[in-house]
Amino acid sequence: MTPKKLITRQADPGQAKARRVIAAKYLEVAELISSEDGAAVNVCVGLAVLAGIAAGDAICIAANGERYAGQDHAAAAELLERVDAGSGKRLRQLVGLKPGSHYGEDLLSDADRKTALRCAAALVKEARTRTV
């Protein structure tokens, strides 16, 4: 079966590095507030989601010279899964937390924060190994 066509954009190694650097900075800021409670949990998770998305871009660019270019972050996770199944799964978990962290009215849980930080850290680590 042919995989579904995803919207992608060509990119070069310099862009992969830039996305990795951005991912690392989002993660760094998320970790700065990771011990705070209340609304800080949502902000921490939201930043971890952004870190994961940027790291996923870097991984895809490094692997095949393209990144996802649409609005559907689940499709970005699908593209990443084609490159690395574990990384794609982690991005999918983060994408699942995006609505609650970015648009939700309820506070997320400590478990959500731990999951988000764990997934984002793994994605940033993978992006570091794949980019110069």
pLDDT tens figures, 38-89: 999 999 999 999 999 999 999 999 999 999 999 999 999 999 999 999 999 9
> For the whole model, what pTM was predicted?
0.95
Domain boundaries, the chain: 10-130
Please give the Cα distance from 99 to 97 (Å, whole number): 6
Output 4 or 98, whichever has higher pLDDT.
Answer: 98
Q: Does domain 10-130 have CATH number 1.10.357.10?
A: no
Please give the Cα distance from 42 to 71 (Å, whole number): 21
| Per-residue pLDDT at 1 exceeds 70 | no
